[in-house]
Structure formats: structure tokens, C-alpha cells
Structure 1
Amino acid sequence: MANKQDNLSAILYGVEDLRLEQRPIPEINDNEVLLEMDCVGICGSDVHYLVHGRIGDFVVEKPMIVGHESSGVVAKVGKNVTNLKVGDRVAIEPGVGCRLCEFCKTGKYNLCEKMIFCATPPVNGNLSRYYKHAADFCHKLPPNVSMEEGALLEPLSVGVHACLRAGVGPGSEVLILGAGPIGLVTLLTAKAMGATKILITDMIQGRLDVAKELGATHTLLVSRDLDEKTIVKKIHEVMETVPSKTIECCGGETTSRLAILATKSGGCVVIVGMGQAEVKIPLCNALVREVDIRGVFRYVNAYPIALSLIASGAVDAKKLVTHHFDITETTKAFETSRYGHGGAIKVMIHCQPRDKNNSKPFNS
């Protein structure tokens, strides 16, 4: 175990003000565990808070520890905890509902109005040496799943939830708009769920090259100077069909419009990306063709599915991790993620020496 006097933490004070400081080691309650943190991936939301200081109504008004894509090792358990023991390696599902409201009781805890979610103001995240969390939202990792893969369960769960919302299954023909980290995990999930045709679009060829390696059957490089009718036509030509499932992973008005226009009548559009609060979309087009439009807010009941996909080998997410940094290099890690240095896709920060808690090296 690390020195228990050392709880180095990455703290966001405001726009462009990210600092490394010592924080007290948290005291746990009877239903919590204290975790010695291992891996924390940088999410687009972490970068957004750094650059803008807010996401919608969530505003950084006081110093906040960042990070929520994570894994760790149980260092201490509360007296009521029976599902975990000291030394267990776990993936940390970062959002905990109240357990009492209608949404929690009906299994839709992601919609809980009292949801406590890591690194969402004013709640602290877990890019620290030590962090406490609800024991029942920690998922024990089998020996063949690395700590990095445990951290990747968070973005992968978004892909799982999106594909479930879209109804992806054997034989599905899927269009994914955006080949960033969320688009790529959605691609991996759709492939594992049996989709036979998957076209993914992006404006950066390097991302599409990665998508091809991960199993996309088709890719399409798009540019800002192409009008939407031309892009829709190209999508249909490349796929040699009209997709029945479209998953939008960019958060732009342009791609939300394309998602509707490119989808088969009677099909389903799932909007994962969150951009402006209000956008203009071709709603009448969707109505007269009975194209369902569904939203996604994080994920729900998806962690066990994501873990089984990785543990079984149905999904190999290791190629998503392009860069590794020690927690003391957090500023450099954020710069790499923010600016895409070196073709960065998923940047992983290690709170302990890399591979310390893996049964075998991550990339073996």
C-alpha cells in the first residue's frame, strides 16, 4: 500500500487552474470502502470543466477533485460491507443514486435527482491516492481484467447503454457519428452485440484508422464543406444500405440532424453527445418516417455487462489507451488529452506504479 499520509489529489480551482495538492484521507461510513486508487482515465468532461469551468448547470464554484473513470484496490471496508474485502481490485461506478426515489426503485437510478456523481460540481472526483465510495457501486474485477480495463468500464458503459437504447442486436446495421472515445466504445459494443454492418464517421482520418482496427466494417471521412444531403448520400452509398440504428456521439447540431436524415424509416436514433441546450433538427422528417429519437444520460445497470464483455474477450478495449502518466504528471496528461498530442484517444493516469495490481502487464 502507498504511504497513508500521502493523498496527493488533482484539484480544479476554476478555469485553467488545475493543481496537485494533499488532501486528508477520507473517513468511510459503514456502507463504504476506502480505495487505494490505481488508474483514472481523463474524460472529455474533465477537460471541459478545466477549459470552461462548467457543463450546463453544473458550475465549478469551489475547488473540486477531478476524475471519474477509475479503478482501485480496497484498503478498508465499512462494518456493513459484505461484498468486498481488503485487497479486492475493483472498478468504480461513479454515480450513486439515493436508492429511495421512484427512479432508483425501478432500476433507472441514472435519472435520480439526488444522484451523487464523481467530479460533477460540487461532488469531488477520485483522481487521488485515496478515495471512498459506496461498496455496492464497486465492481470486483476478475484476475484476467487489468486495472486499466477496469477504468475503461466507465466509458464502455456509455457505449453499452447507448446500444441497448438503440436496440442493437444480431444483424443490426449501425451508423455511428463520431470516432472519439465514446464513438469507439460504442463501436466495440455494437460489434459485440452482433451488428453486421457498422459505419463510423469522423473529420480526423487517424481516428477512423483506429476504428477500422477495432472492427468497423466501413468508415467515412467527412468535412465541414460538405452539405448534409451529400453526406447522407455518401453514408448510404458506402454502407450499401440505409442504417436502422444511428448513434450520435459528437454533440453537435449538424450531427444530430444527420442522424435523423440518414436513418431508415421506422429506425432509431440515439443521441449520446451533449452540446448546446437547444438545437434545430428536422423533426417533421422524423415524425412522418416514424424515426424514434432517444436520449442517453450516462448509463444504468451497464457496468456488469461492460465487465462481462471485457472479461469474456468479446471486447478488447486496450487499444483505446494511447498514453500513460503518473499522477505527478497530471498537468501534462491533461494537455495531451486536451490537444490530442500524439494521436491521443484515452489518456490514463496512474496513482500507483503501472501494473502493480495487474496479474499480467496491460499490453501483454
Structure 2
Amino acid sequence: MLNKRSFGSNSCKETDTRCYDDTKRNYEYRKERNCEENTDDDDNDTSLLNETRNEVIRIMEPCTVERCLEAIPSFSEYDILVRTEAVALSGSDLHYYETGGKSYPGMTLGHDATGIVQEVGCSITKIRPGDRVVLESGLACGICDYCKKGCYNICNNLIFNGFLRKYQVHPADLCHKIPDDVDTIEATLTQTLALGCQACFKAQILPTTNVLVIGAGSTAISTALCARAIGAGNICVASTLKEPLETIEKTFNFNCLHYEADMQYCTILECLYSVLHDWPDAVINCAVSEKTMNLSVMALKPCGVCVLAECDAECACFNAMDVLMKNLKLIPSFRSINMFPTALHLIEDGKAPIGRLIANIFQWQEVEHAFRKALHESNVGNRKVIVRCAEPEEDETFKKEDCKT
């Protein structure tokens, strides 16, 4: 009988405890000794904090960040213990920050993260303590019908592991080694780039493909970067958002098309043709709405493909007759499947300088300021805010000019 995967549980047999590093046993010994030596509760709490440094970010009330102290998690023979290095604040984090977490008390924050391996379970052979890893945060059950088909991104029991904490336990098979030439700060955006990679592969982009990317967010940028890395013939990024488009054009040197929301379709299509000098073979829609769907259907060549990557609206009415008569394919691209290695490869080779999206890096003590800044960026632009959870070394300052180009 199949059982669900156990994440973060202490399932190793007693005889396997020798596989764990001495650090865990030393920690337990020091904690007991501190409790015996310190009689004052406040002193005990301070000592425990100094020993574990396992602070956790909680948001129970809207726009109120709290730092709590938790024990170091235990883990199974297939898990690893990670010391979090950096976290890129994502849309789910900001939604939680705005609304508060009382409705979702078990949810953990920080899903785009990198870390350094501290300990490994008994059965882990490919990852060692000291390895730098980027973490795929979605935890699939592994036994539902979708997981068996390889579609773990739509697992019936999918949950997310958060890394806005000093230490976290995670399944080793969802941890990807960061290449030596890639900075851990830039690697936090691996998930962002993976979304773009999957959208491009769904569209089956080739060097002869003309690509229209609709949207001006981080997913649209990562999609355009991946299409360029593949060698797509012509790429155009179109959006109604003027300032984010200007950032894309200046930072990544893409051909961009700004159009007004109330502009006539014929006018938009004329402008699009003047940029691409042809009609697109593929449209990757990162801002699905009625306007963008009709624009996609009208612009595509016959037998073209439209990938739906992100939504601006839940419902969108478009011309189904054009889809049928032009034999168009509409393909969804939701989350990502096995795209982290590809994304890391593109970053390492300098073909996808996703680190240029980073707007600010905040230290752990500045996490509340980081949330406010990230919320501002999400409202006005497309850049990312990073929280550095570990103390930086003197020579480890991240600079955007050091990104792979």
C-alpha cells in the first residue's frame, strides 16, 4: 500500500541516526545545558535564540511582520536541513502581507529561496553539507494520478514550504545545486525564470519563430529571455504599462510595444507588424484578459500557438471562430515542471541575466521594510526585492553588474 511522502518528519530508524551530523546532537546538548544553567526565562529564550538562530517570519495581522522563535525542524532520511541564504519576495508573500495570515495559520512564507545545506538524511548521496542549493518549494504527494503522470505542478495535495526563516527542512529531490559561477542572490530568481522556460517550451519556440510576449511582469521578462536564449527570430514585448516596458527595453534591450487599453485592435496590430515585420508564430500571454486574448487570436498566423501563462482577469471572452478557422492552439502553462535545471543553466551561461530584475536587497533585520518596498514595486513596476537571511560576508556584496550577461 502506498503512503504519502512525509516531509519534515523524523522517519529514520534508530539505527540510522549515525547518518546525521554531530551538529544536531551538539545543539540538543547545548540547549539542555543552557536550560540548567539559566534560571531566568528571558535568559533562556535569549540563549536559545543565540544557539539556534532559527527565527521565523510570521504575518498574522495585515502589514504586521513578526519574528518568532521555533525549534530546528527534524527531518527524514530523504530530507535535508538548509540554512536559508536569501529569499525573493513573491506575489503570494505580498498577498499574505496585505491580508494577514489568520485565515491560513499553517502557511509559511518565502517560496523563492536559496540556502546552504547543513545536514542530510541517511539516504541522500548527491547532496552534501556545504552545498549551495536553490529550492523548489512546492511539495507534491507523489502518489496521486497527476503526480504519477509527471504533472506534480497540479498535484491534488500540493503544499508549499516557506523559507523566510533561518533554517528549514526540505526534500532533497527538490533541491538543486547552484553552479559555482552563479551568485546565491541571483539564484533566488530561478523559479521566476523557470516559469518563462516552461512557457517557451509549451510554445515549441524555434530559432525561426516570431514571438509576441504580452505583459510586463517578471514572468513576461523571463519568457522573453528564454525565447532569446533559444534564438527566436523576432521578439516583441507588448503591454499597456508604459514604465515597466521602458525598464524592459533599457535593461534587457527588447523591442517593446506600448498600447493604450482603449486603443482599437487594428491600430495595435499595425504597430505590432511594424515592430516584428511579420505576424507572430507564437504568443505567450502573461496578462490574460479579454483584450489580450482577442489581440492574440487576431495577430497569430494560422496554425500558431497561444500559451496562457498568467492572468489579469478570471474570465476572458474572445473570438472562438477565429481560433477554429485559423487552427490555433491554446495551451496553459501553470507553475513549472522540472525546469529548475534549465533555468540554472541559462543563468550560468549568461543567456538569461535575470539578476538585473533585482531592485533592492535587505538584511534580515530589515524584513518589514523589504515587504513595504516589494509591495511598492509590485504596484509600479516589475522588479524584485530580496531578503538576505544569512549575515553577509565582507566580500559577498551582490552587484547587478556582476550578473551573468
Q: TM-score surpassing 0.5? A: yes
Q: Distance in 1 between matches of 2:165 and 2:297?
A: 42
Alignment correspondent of 1:287: 324
Alignment correspondent of 1:319: 356
Alignment correspondent of 1:20: 67
Alignment correspondent of 2:98: 51
In the TM superposition, 1:263-342 aligns within 5 A as: 263-340=300-377
| Structure 1 residues 354 and 102: alpha-carbon distance in aligned structure 2, compared to 1, 3 A threshold | same
Alignment correspondent of 2:80: 33
1:144 and 2:181 are equivalent in the alignment: yes
8 Å CA contact 2:288, 2:316 repeated in 1: no
Query: AA paired with 1:65?
Result: T
Alignment correspondent of 1:72: 115
The alpha carbon displacement at 1:216 in A equals 4.8
Report the aligned-residue RMSD.
2.6
| Structure 1 residues 286 and 115: alpha-carbon distance in aligned structure 2, compared to 1, 3 A threshold | same
Q: Distance in 2 between matches of 1:254 and 1:278?
A: 11
SS of 1:86's equivalent in the other structure is coil
In the TM superposition, 1:1-364 aligns within 5 A as: 3-13=50-60, 15-52=62-99, 60-62=103-105, 64-118=107-161, 125-213=162-250, 215-340=252-377, 345-354=383-392, 363-364=401-402
8 Å CA contact 1:158, 1:182 repeated in 2: yes
Q: Distance in 1 between matches of 2:246 and 2:175?
A: 34
Structure 1 residues 36-87: Cα deviation after superposition (integer angstroms, max 9, x where no partner): 0011101123223333569xxxx94325321111100001111111121111
Query: AA paired with 1:90?
Result: V
The alpha carbon displacement at 1:163 in A equals 0.4
Query: AA paired with 1:309?
Result: L
**Quick check: which one's strand share is greater?**
1
TM-score w.r.t. length of structure 2: 0.80
8 Å CA contact 2:244, 2:380 repeated in 1: no
8 Å CA contact 2:97, 2:371 repeated in 1: no
Name the count of aligned residue pairs.
Answer: 354
8 Å CA contact 2:182, 2:348 repeated in 1: yes
Query: AA paired with 1:23?
Result: E
Larger Rg over CA atoms? 2
Q: Distance in 2 between matches of 1:343 and 1:280?
A: 27
Decide which moves more: 142-151 or 276-285: 276-285
SS of 1:315's equivalent in the other structure is coil
8 Å CA contact 2:356, 2:400 repeated in 1: no
Q: Distance in 2 between matches of 1:140 and 1:4?
A: 27
Aligned-pair identity in percent equals: 29
Q: Distance in 2 between matches of 1:81 and 1:254?
A: 50
The alpha carbon displacement at 1:224 in A equals 2.4
Structure 1 residues 236-295: Cα deviation after superposition (integer angstroms, max 9, x where no partner): 232221111111112433323322222222111111113443332222221221111111
8 Å CA contact 2:56, 2:166 repeated in 1: yes
Structure 1 residues 176-223: Cα deviation after superposition (integer angstroms, max 9, x where no partner): 111211111111111001112110023343322332245454211122
RCO higher in structure (CA 8 A, sep ≥6)? 1
The alpha carbon displacement at 1:116 in A equals 2.6
Query: AA paired with 1:179?
Result: A
8 Å CA contact 2:217, 2:382 repeated in 1: no
Decide which moves more: 264-273 or 352-361: 352-361
Q: Distance in 2 between matches of 1:108 and 1:332?
A: 37
The alpha carbon displacement at 1:311 in A equals 1.5
Q: Distance in 2 between matches of 1:196 and 1:213?
A: 20
| Structure 1 residues 17 and 258: alpha-carbon distance in aligned structure 2, compared to 1, 3 A threshold | farther
Q: Distance in 2 between matches of 1:18 and 1:284?
A: 50
| Structure 1 residues 277 and 178: alpha-carbon distance in aligned structure 2, compared to 1, 3 A threshold | closer
Q: Distance in 2 between matches of 1:175 and 1:127?
A: 36
Unaligned runs of 5+ in 1: 119-124
Unaligned runs of 5+ in 2: 1-22, 24-48
**Quick check: which one's helix share is greater?**
2
Q: Distance in 1 between matches of 2:51 and 2:349?
A: 35
SS of 1:13's equivalent in the other structure is coil
The alpha carbon displacement at 1:168 in A equals 1.1
Query: AA paired with 2:387?
Result: I
Query: AA paired with 1:106?
Result: K
